[in-house]
Amino acid sequence: MPIKYLFQAGNYISQVEDTLYGSFVEHLGRAVYTGIYEPGHPQADENGFRLDVASLIQELQVSTVRYPGGNFVSGYNWQDGIGPKEQRPVRLDYAWLSKETNEFGIGEFYKWSQKFGVTPMVAVNMGTGTPQEAGYFVEYANIKGGTYFSDLRKQHGFEEPFNFKYWCVGNEMDGPWQTCHLEAHEYARKALETAKIMHWVDPSIQLIACGSATTTLPTYPEWDRVVLETVYDEVSCLSCHHYFENHTGKIEDFLGSYVLMDNFIHTITSTADFVKAKLRSKKDMMISFDEYNIWSINGEPWMDYFNRDPNNRFTKAPPLLEQHYTFLDALVLGGLMCTLVNHCDRVKMASLAQLVNVIAPIFTQPGGAVIKQTIFYPFKWLSVYGRGKALRYFANVPCIETIHGQTKTLQSAAVYNDERKEIAFFVLNLDQKQDQEISFVLDGFGKVELFEHHELSGCPLDAMNTFETPDAVTPKVVPVTAAEKESLTVKVPALSFNLYRLKVEGEL
Ligand code: AHR
């Protein structure tokens, strides 16, 4: 018997915000230099922006891009990256022990974002930085003119303000690896005073406070409570960060990573709701899941990771965190992204970390080609077809036991798009042997037609896309059979991630 997925018109979770499909570019490794920016590359424009890379970013329909970090931002003075390039200082970057030339700074990022249609999400330095420097940054970016920093921007060739809307108040300040890491109460006070100044300069901006950097820190989730109790009224979102790894070596545990993300979001929304009640507030705190991805540190101790090869310190754009993604990683990412959609009533922003070269869906050769990594595809499906209203549904899905406890073997999300009058249904089958028959039962949607099926399946779990074989892992479009159309029943292959598109007649 097929598993029935029951949908009812009008029964939806929330609007999926476009900002759920953001990503992240940090001054780290080759994300900026030889990633998005490489003057002299045959595909670079007059600004040095790589057009081959930009066209893949546009294919992904990335909404926001978080910049300039990440750990990098906690030692970064934004004023190093403005004005004439030849006068900018070359600095030591404490986060990644690299050399930062500052050829690419906030003005270049703004230009790049405008040219390629992404919305900037910028971060201020809460490590070595001060509340006043954060205020100056907002002034430089968002004040029209007539003050020192806004006029400086004009002198730098930007007559109109950048009008940055989304601002992260620091990055992972709970992490002992962070430059000038703080205790929860210290960060909370500093973030509050910084947020006040930033809002005085521009009351329209939306601020994101640092939440837990991972669930494995001993401060989780107490950090989030302490921070929220102090900054609640000043911020719109609290951040969550989490990277997923195959810790146990068991495929089912890794594929079940979505449960970990789900639990994380539950914990943080519950903590936020506790604080809301305590403060007698009427506002719901939203979540910005602004770092998530698969990152296989391969058991390397976290701190050692940052203090890399002692013979390779302080070079410009060293190849760091250049993970080559597998077919299995793509399946895991599909499951994680379904979880984000299913929580879209509280998760209003998210950033796949990162975008180019550094744990990223897009990978370049300096001076050479660019390829799509395996994780490019699930991100693209969700980003392109996962906009609209996330539907609630009921399905009685069999479970298996994993490290996360009882884990559903199918992880899915469904989004209704009003303009296209269609439902996109995304589903991961994490069972390693069992194909699963499912049928769509839609109540109140009028005439329904299943018209397209995309499938990522049938590859060795360790298959990767390389410069030699860039299409080793690519999705296929599987023709929808007459029987499937008739019965709205389909077979979801074992170990696959799928997109089904259904045309519907009625309004939601
Ligand atoms: O994305 C890589 C790093 O992971 C980021 O710099 C940091 O915020 C996180 O620890």
* Catalytic residue of the set 38, 108, 172, 422: 172
Residue 71: CB within 6 Å of ligand 1? yes
Q: Identify whether the C-beta of residue 124 lies closer than 8 Å to the C-beta of residue 137.
A: yes
pTM: predicted TM-score of the whole model, two decimal places: 0.97
The whole-number pLDDT of residue 489 equals 97
* Catalytic residue of the set 26, 100, 291, 422: 291
> 215 to each of 260, 340, 436, how far by Cα in Å?
9, 17, 32
Tokens 């990644």 sit on residue: 96
CA 105, 111, 115, 121: dihedral to nearest 10 degrees? Answer: 60
**Dihedrals phi, psi of 229, to nearest 5 degrees:** -60, -25
Residue 427: CB within 6 Å of ligand 1? no
Residue 323: CB within 6 Å of ligand 1? no
The whole-number pLDDT of residue 313 equals 85
Closest CA to 327 of 280, 376, 291: 376
Residue 357: CB within 6 Å of ligand 1? no
Residue 171: CB within 6 Å of ligand 1? yes
Residue 291: CB within 6 Å of ligand 1? yes
DSSP of 323-343, one letter per residue? PPPBHHHHHHHHHHHHHHHHT
Q: Identify whether the C-beta of residue 223 lies closer than 8 Å to the C-beta of residue 272.
A: no
Q: Is 70 left (phi over 0), alpha (psi -120 to 50) or beta?
A: left
- What is the CA(204)–ligand 1 centre distance, in A? 28
- What is the CA(417)–ligand 1 centre distance, in A? 33
> 480 to each of 53, 381, 450, how far by Cα in Å?
33, 18, 7
The whole-number pLDDT of residue 71 equals 97
In terms of Cβ atoms closer than 10 Å to its own Cβ (0-12, 13-18, 19+), residue 326 is: buried
For 71-99, write each residue's pLDDT tens digit: 999 999 999 999 999 999 999 999 999 99
pLDDT, average across residues 175-182? 96
pLDDT, mean over the chain: 96
Given a cut of 60, whether residue 302 has pLDDT beyond it is no
Tokens 């970990």 sit on residue: 260
The whole-number pLDDT of residue 248 equals 94
Q: Identify whether the C-beta of residue 347 lies closer than 8 Å to the C-beta of residue 14.
A: no
pLDDT, average across residues 420-427? 97
For the CA of 177, the nearest atom of ligand 1: 10
Given a cut of 70, whether residue 298 has pLDDT beyond it is no
pLDDT, average across residues 325-334? 98
Q: Identify whether the C-beta of residue 347 lies closer than 8 Å to the C-beta of residue 289.
A: yes
Given a cut of 60, whether residue 153 has pLDDT beyond it is yes
Given a cut of 70, whether residue 342 has pLDDT beyond it is yes
Residue 353: CB within 6 Å of ligand 1? yes
For the CA of 213, the nearest atom of ligand 1: 10
CA angle 107, 210, 164 (to 5 degrees): 25
Q: Identify whether the C-beta of residue 97 lies closer than 8 Å to the C-beta of residue 306.
A: yes
Given a cut of 80, whether residue 67 has pLDDT beyond it is yes
For 365-393, write each residue's pLDDT tens digit: 999 999 999 999 999 999 999 999 999 99
For 93-133, write each residue's pLDDT tens digit: 999 999 999 999 999 999 999 999 999 999 999 999 999 99
- What is the CA(320)–ligand 1 centre distance, in A? 12
489-492 and 410-417 beta bridge pairing: unpaired
pLDDT, average across residues 436-462? 96
Q: Is 498 helix (H, G, I), strand (E, B) or coil?
A: strand
Would you say how long the chain is, in residues? 508
Residue 69: CB within 6 Å of ligand 1? yes
Given a cut of 70, whether residue 172 has pLDDT beyond it is yes
- What is the CA(71)–ligand 1 centre distance, in A? 6
Lowest mean pLDDT among 163-167, 309-313, 317-321: 309-313
- What is the CA(265)–ligand 1 centre distance, in A? 19
Return the percentage of the chain with pLDDT > 70, whole number.
Answer: 97
Residue 26: CB within 6 Å of ligand 1? yes
Q: Identify whether the C-beta of residue 6 lies closer than 8 Å to the C-beta of residue 393.
A: yes
The whole-number pLDDT of residue 327 equals 98
The whole-number pLDDT of residue 311 equals 73
- What is the CA(213)–ligand 1 centre distance, in A? 9
Q: Identify whether the C-beta of residue 243 lies closer than 8 Å to the C-beta of residue 295.
A: yes
The whole-number pLDDT of residue 307 equals 54
For 133-147, write each residue's pLDDT tens digit: 999 999 999 999 999
For 404-416, write each residue's pLDDT tens digit: 999 999 999 999 9
> 303 to each of 25, 79, 158, 183, 321, how far by Cα in Å?
22, 29, 40, 18, 14
The whole-number pLDDT of residue 165 equals 98
The whole-number pLDDT of residue 508 equals 67
Output the residue whose Cα is nearest ligand 1's atom 5: 70
Q: Identify whether the C-beta of residue 122 lies closer than 8 Å to the C-beta of residue 168.
A: yes
**pLDDT range class, residue 304, cuts 50, 70, 90:** low
DSSP of 359-393, one letter per residue? S-SEEE-TTS-EEE-TTHHHHHHHHHH--EEEEEE
Output the residue whose Cα is nearest ligand 1's atom 7: 70
- What is the CA(139)–ligand 1 centre distance, in A? 27
291 is known as an active-site residue: yes
For the CA of 71, the nearest atom of ligand 1: 6
- What is the CA(227)–ligand 1 centre distance, in A? 20
The whole-number pLDDT of residue 309 equals 66
pLDDT, average across residues 230-235? 98
Closest CA to 424 of 336, 343, 497, 350: 497
108 is known as an active-site residue: no
Give the DSSP H or E segment for 400: strand 399-402
Question: The tokens of 10 are what?
Answer: 């009008």
The whole-number pLDDT of residue 308 equals 61
What is the best residue among 168, 172, 302 to mutate for testing ligand 1's pocket, by most ligand atoms within 8 Å of CB?
A: 172
Output the residue whose Cα is nearest ligand 1's atom 4: 70
Q: Identify whether the C-beta of residue 71 lies closer than 8 Å to the C-beta of residue 369.
A: no
Distance (Å, whole) CA 449 – CA 429: 23
Complete domains list, the chain, with CATH: 3-9+390-504 (2.60.40.1180), 17-386 (3.20.20.80)
pLDDT, average across residues 484-493? 96
Spatial neighbors of 295 by CB under 8 A, at least 6 apart, are: 243, 244, 245, 321, 323, 359
Q: Say how many C-beta atoms besides its own lie within 10 A of residue 89's C-beta.
A: 11
Closest CA to 30 of 270, 368, 311, 303: 368
Output the residue whose Cα is nearest ligand 1's atom 1: 353
The long-range contacts involving 303-310, CB below 8 angstroms and separated by at least 24 positions, are 303/176, 303/177, 306/71, 306/95, 306/96, 306/97, 306/177, 307/97, 308/97
Q: Say how many C-beta atoms besides its own lie within 10 A of residue 108's C-beta.
A: 20
Given a cut of 80, whether residue 303 has pLDDT beyond it is no
